[in-house]
Amino acid sequence: MITIYHNPRCSKSRETLALVQSHADETQIPLQVIDYQKTPLNFGELQSLLTALGTDDVQVMLRNNEPEYVNLNLATADVATALSAIAAHPHLLQRPIVTYQNKAAIGRPPEHVLSLFKKA
Protein backbone atom coordinates (compact mmCIF):
# COMPACT_ATOMS: atom_id res chain seq x y z
CA MET A 1 0.00 0.00 0.00
CA ILE A 2 1.06 3.56 -0.75
CA THR A 3 0.15 6.19 1.83
CA ILE A 4 0.24 9.95 1.34
CA TYR A 5 -0.02 12.38 4.22
CA HIS A 6 -1.78 15.13 2.35
CA ASN A 7 -3.00 18.69 2.75
CA PRO A 8 -5.59 19.42 0.04
CA ARG A 9 -4.96 23.17 0.38
CA CYS A 10 -1.28 22.81 -0.61
CA SER A 11 -0.41 22.91 -4.32
CA LYS A 12 2.71 20.72 -3.88
CA SER A 13 0.64 18.19 -1.99
CA ARG A 14 -1.99 18.13 -4.74
CA GLU A 15 0.73 17.73 -7.41
CA THR A 16 2.31 14.89 -5.46
CA LEU A 17 -1.05 13.20 -4.97
CA ALA A 18 -1.63 13.29 -8.75
CA LEU A 19 1.76 11.64 -9.39
CA VAL A 20 1.20 8.99 -6.73
CA GLN A 21 -2.38 8.34 -7.87
CA SER A 22 -1.13 7.79 -11.42
CA HIS A 23 1.52 5.33 -10.22
CA ALA A 24 -1.00 3.53 -8.00
CA ASP A 25 -3.44 3.22 -10.90
CA GLU A 26 -0.75 1.91 -13.29
CA THR A 27 0.58 -0.64 -10.82
CA GLN A 28 -2.73 -1.46 -9.12
CA ILE A 29 -1.20 -0.73 -5.72
CA PRO A 30 -3.79 0.49 -3.19
CA LEU A 31 -3.48 4.16 -2.23
CA GLN A 32 -4.42 5.56 1.16
CA VAL A 33 -4.82 9.35 1.39
CA ILE A 34 -4.63 10.80 4.90
CA ASP A 35 -5.50 14.44 5.49
CA TYR A 36 -3.17 14.80 8.46
CA GLN A 37 -4.87 18.01 9.59
CA LYS A 38 -8.20 16.19 10.03
CA THR A 39 -6.55 12.98 11.26
CA PRO A 40 -3.43 14.10 13.16
CA LEU A 41 -0.58 11.67 13.66
CA ASN A 42 0.40 10.71 17.17
CA PHE A 43 3.94 10.72 18.55
CA GLY A 44 4.60 7.07 17.67
CA GLU A 45 3.35 7.47 14.11
CA LEU A 46 5.54 10.54 13.66
CA GLN A 47 8.53 8.66 15.06
CA SER A 48 7.91 5.85 12.55
CA LEU A 49 7.67 8.39 9.72
CA LEU A 50 11.01 9.91 10.72
CA THR A 51 12.59 6.45 10.68
CA ALA A 52 11.02 5.70 7.29
CA LEU A 53 12.51 8.93 5.95
CA GLY A 54 15.91 7.40 6.75
CA THR A 55 17.13 10.22 8.94
CA ASP A 56 17.30 11.26 12.56
CA ASP A 57 17.16 14.96 11.60
CA VAL A 58 13.66 15.91 12.68
CA GLN A 59 14.05 19.32 11.03
CA VAL A 60 13.22 17.75 7.65
CA MET A 61 9.70 17.07 8.97
CA LEU A 62 9.11 20.61 10.23
CA ARG A 63 7.66 23.59 8.40
CA ASN A 64 10.01 26.28 9.66
CA ASN A 65 7.89 29.12 8.27
CA GLU A 66 5.04 28.54 10.75
CA PRO A 67 4.71 30.89 13.76
CA GLU A 68 4.72 27.95 16.20
CA TYR A 69 8.12 26.88 14.86
CA VAL A 70 9.59 30.12 16.20
CA ASN A 71 7.35 30.41 19.27
CA LEU A 72 8.22 26.89 20.44
CA ASN A 73 11.96 27.27 19.67
CA LEU A 74 11.85 24.24 17.40
CA ALA A 75 15.02 25.17 15.51
CA THR A 76 17.02 23.80 18.43
CA ALA A 77 14.51 21.26 19.76
CA ASP A 78 15.39 17.64 20.31
CA VAL A 79 13.53 14.93 18.42
CA ALA A 80 11.01 14.19 21.17
CA THR A 81 10.12 17.86 21.63
CA ALA A 82 9.76 18.42 17.89
CA LEU A 83 7.59 15.34 17.35
CA SER A 84 5.41 16.30 20.31
CA ALA A 85 4.99 19.76 18.77
CA ILE A 86 3.95 18.27 15.43
CA ALA A 87 1.47 15.98 17.19
CA ALA A 88 -0.03 19.00 18.97
CA HIS A 89 0.13 21.31 15.92
CA PRO A 90 -0.31 19.14 12.78
CA HIS A 91 0.23 22.08 10.42
CA LEU A 92 3.90 22.00 11.49
CA LEU A 93 4.35 18.75 9.54
CA GLN A 94 6.17 19.21 6.25
CA ARG A 95 3.98 18.01 3.43
CA PRO A 96 3.32 15.92 1.58
CA ILE A 97 4.94 12.75 2.86
CA VAL A 98 4.52 9.50 0.93
CA THR A 99 5.27 6.07 2.38
CA TYR A 100 5.74 2.80 0.53
CA GLN A 101 7.34 -0.46 1.68
CA ASN A 102 8.63 0.98 4.97
CA LYS A 103 10.29 3.95 3.28
CA ALA A 104 9.14 7.54 3.05
CA ALA A 105 9.88 10.64 1.00
CA ILE A 106 8.80 14.25 1.19
CA GLY A 107 7.23 15.58 -2.00
CA ARG A 108 9.34 18.70 -2.33
CA PRO A 109 9.60 18.73 -5.27
CA PRO A 110 6.69 16.36 -6.00
CA GLU A 111 8.84 14.16 -8.26
CA HIS A 112 11.05 13.30 -5.29
CA VAL A 113 8.53 10.69 -4.11
CA LEU A 114 8.91 8.69 -7.32
CA SER A 115 12.23 7.39 -5.94
CA LEU A 116 10.17 5.21 -3.57
CA PHE A 117 8.86 3.19 -6.50
CA LYS A 118 12.17 2.45 -8.25
CA LYS A 119 13.32 -1.15 -8.15
CA ALA A 120 16.64 -1.68 -6.40
Strand-pair partners of 97: 5, 106
| Residue 69 near residue 62, CB atoms below 8 Å | yes
Provide the domain count of the chain. 1
What is the structure's pLDDT at 35? 98
What confidence tens digit (pLDDT) does each residue in 49-69 have? 999 999 999 999 999 999 999
Q: Tell me which residues are annotated as active site.
A: 10
E-only strand ranges, 24-114: 31-35, 97-100, 103-106
41 lies in which domain range? 2-117
pTM to 2 decimal places: 0.94
Q: Looking at residue 16, which CATH number applies to its domain?
A: 3.40.30.10
